Amino acid sequence: MSDAARAVCTTCPHHCRLAEGEKGFCRAREAKGGSVVCTNYGRITSLALDPIEKKPIAFFKPGSKVLSIGSYGCNMRCPFCQNDAISQCGEGEAAFQTATPAELADAALRLKVERGNIGLAYTYNEPLVGWEFVRDCAREVRARGMANILVSNGCAEANVVEEIAPLIDAANIDMKGPSQEFYDWAGGDFAAACETIRILHSAGCHVEVTTLVVPGRNDTDADIDAIAAFIASVSPDIPLHVTRFFPRWHMADAQPTPVATVRRLADVARHKLHYVFTGNC
């Protein structure tokens, strides 16, 4: 099939060119009828009422809980993926239940009364590969006077982020490494992640950032200094969570990041940022 006959996905920088019925790199989008549609829409693999700090988000309604949902699929291939059982799966590879945006928003509202829930969090896998579902849920949640929380790798096209940004109250965006070289290894796009942080912050969303420190990959002072410098260029008040790697997926034989390394790198980031936290230590 010629490229002209293929549908182009414009959700993320991969720009997958797909023949009819073919799925994209993320495994959650498919060419149908000449366009690319979200096939994990309303398919929920994970559902839990989590502390907001687990996202991790430190400075948005601390001490509260948020109903957290995930589906399947991701547009990155981080060898160290912590949620590979769902994020690295496609249709038929992970069990799911279905729910409409209104049903999830109603569930969130019931939990507000019963257990102090503040809204809905889109997390666990990469939510923006199914951004249409995030948008539709967020509208329903906002209509009920509750909050929307996004946890994402940020590797989406600007028009996608700009459409959902007005609906997102708080976000934690992964900044996985300091350069495109790192993102090439992890299957993502450095510039897109940076732009997502800028757009969300400019839209008035409360933004925090997480960097998972992977031994031998992004664990030098220069690596974290570069990440902190970018974040500070947006705002030095954006919190950074410097977190410890544990062996998972294709890096199951690796050693965990030394706690001392995480703490040292957090100190490096504090030269440029006002709020730096350590995680998994």
In the chain, DSSP assigns E strands to 7-8, 17-18, 29-32, 35-38, 43-44, 46-51, 65-70, 97-98, 117-122, 147-152, 170-174, 206-213, 240-244, 276-279
Q: 24 in a domain, yes or no?
A: no
pLDDT at 78: 98
pLDDT, tens digit (0-9, with 9 covering 90-100), for 179-200: 999 999 999 999 999 999 999 9
Q: 29 in a domain, yes or no?
A: no
DSSP string of 139-187?
HHHHHTT-EEEEEE---S-HHHHHHHGGG-SEEEEE---SSHHHHHHHT
Spell 106-130 as b/e; 16+ CB within 10 A means b: ebbbebbeeeebbbbbbbbbbbbbb
Look up the CATH number of the domain holding residue 275.
Answer: 3.20.20.70
Asked if the model's pLDDT at residue 3 lies above 80, the reply is no
* Structural domain that includes position 265: 40-279
State whether the Cα torsion 68-73-74-80 is positive or negative: positive
Q: What is the mean pLDDT of residues 230-252?
A: 97
Q: 187 in a domain, yes or no?
A: yes
Q: What is the mean pLDDT of residues 255-262?
A: 98
Q: 183 in a domain, yes or no?
A: yes
Q: 13 in a domain, yes or no?
A: no
Asked if the model's pLDDT at residue 174 lies above 70, the reply is yes
pLDDT, tens digit (0-9, with 9 covering 90-100), for 77-97: 999 999 999 999 999 999 999
pTM for this model (two decimals): 0.97
Q: Are 151 and 171 in contact (CB under 8 A)?
A: yes
pLDDT at 5: 74
Q: What is the mean pLDDT of residues 137-146?
A: 98
The Cα–Cα gap between 40 and 88 comes to: 13
The Cα–Cα gap between 272 and 268 comes to: 8
How many domains does the chain contain in total? 1
Q: 249 in a domain, yes or no?
A: yes
pLDDT at 48: 98
